[in-house]
Structure 1
Amino acid sequence: MKIITFANHKGGVGKTTSTLNVAQTLVRDGRKVLLVDCDAQGNLTQSLRLPATYPDLGLVLSKKATLAEVVVPLNDKLSLVAATAELDFLEKVLAQQFGYEHILRTGLEPLHNQFDYCLLDTPPRLSALTYAALVASDRVFIPCQPEFYGYTGLTNLLDACARVSEHFNPQLRVGGLFFTKYSPKYRRRLHHEIVELIGERYAAEQLVLNTTIRENVSLAEAQIQQESIYHWAPASNGAHDYEALTREILARL
């Protein structure tokens, strides 16, 4: 099982949308995928059709269940570890515990032969669960909007990845970063300048992916309707862009 985290130190950049749609692309390709929602906002959880009652990640953090015991099958290819609003409080408790960084890595070990991919959606900050996700992962991909504050926050996340790789998880690599709500064809000079700036800054590492995710209302509509973008609007820009992004991500694993 390949474990991939989507992370950014800034909110509203498309982490949840990217986690969801890359997972749906993999499922469409016949892969078995486990989603883990590590964000107390629970947007990933809310984007999926769940049974009336279900266990959640909070039970793992409070040591009332193992991670394998809170996996909720959604269909024969897609499963979810759901988030709860209590994660905000439970994360603070978790951060006080010795060795908390390994909670997801240890929890996922029994599931390695059950899934092809595990995708983790993280909070919009460098929280205890963000670090735990990085410790568990093979690759981290960074959705980024071409804005000044997104650029400044990028350095903090990359530094965090370097620390995790050095001290906890030598297998962790930054798979790359990609721009959301952006196209080279948009008439937004400042955005193009920031894209160019980031591209030049990380040219040696070849971090910037070729695929960009254009603004597309179908992506939001599909999430609200709890539908795959490939069922809701298969001919949309959103479906096309996430198809291309998934191919590029797989090439970097």
Structure 2
Amino acid sequence: MAAELTKYAIWLLSPLGLWIALTAMAGLGLFGRRQWRARIMVLAQLQLLAFSLPWVGDTLLGQLEDEALVMEANRPLPPNVDAIVVLGGGLEGRYDGVRALPDLNDAGDRVWQGARLYKQGVAPRMVLSGGLFQADPRKEAEAPGMKMFMLDMGVPENALVIEGNSRTTFENALRTRELLGEDSSNIALVTSAFHMGRSVLWFEKAGFTVYPVRTDIRVLNESRAFWEWLPKPQALDESTIAIKEYLGRLQLKVSGAYETGGSQ
């Protein structure tokens, strides 16, 4: 139940969630005088507009990706670790009667990078960690689809450890620890660059020594024509992703992970 409430709270604090909440409250007259309702309506529109600007999305998400770059440079991956851990989020599972095969999404680099690391001999085992939040029984969790991808890439089945029940990064870390046991402490953690900082902290809290392997780089700091700086849905998506990560950091701070995380 706590995981579901967290998801709803994060949505409510996202740009679109705030816009809906503020607009609804102003429309229902919950802010008293008409002047205040008008101000709240303007505020709702302005924050949605601001988070839809490419430079805002790039700035928010770019800070997270730059942090992952520094982490990766400060913790170079050794020739061998105990396991590769690939976090879910890179594909959509099968759906009975609609989608016969899993679909890679825009974070599909995660599974591709995991396969590359295994082929390079970095670790003898690979954990595929990806569960399912939806209640629809026809939709498959991510982990089986990740397994199918790895098998197609030539990774042997006996090297794969499947974790298909986690719904959050916190659960990814705890269940991976349960599956690997106390003997496996050094891991190569594969996830999107924007997600790396929070993931490392949770996995360190679970007792792992983490070597980050970032992928799915989204902010390139490229030159753009004027019209490319106008508001667009992709920028709103970047802003929303970044805000979710920053709120996740706040949750980590409240839980004490910043203070009790690993030494690296």
Q: Taking structure 2 as the reference length, what is the TM-score of the superposition? A: 0.34
- Higher Cα radius of gyration: 2
Q: Which has the higher helix share?
A: 2
Q: Taking structure 1 as the reference length, what is the TM-score of the superposition? A: 0.35
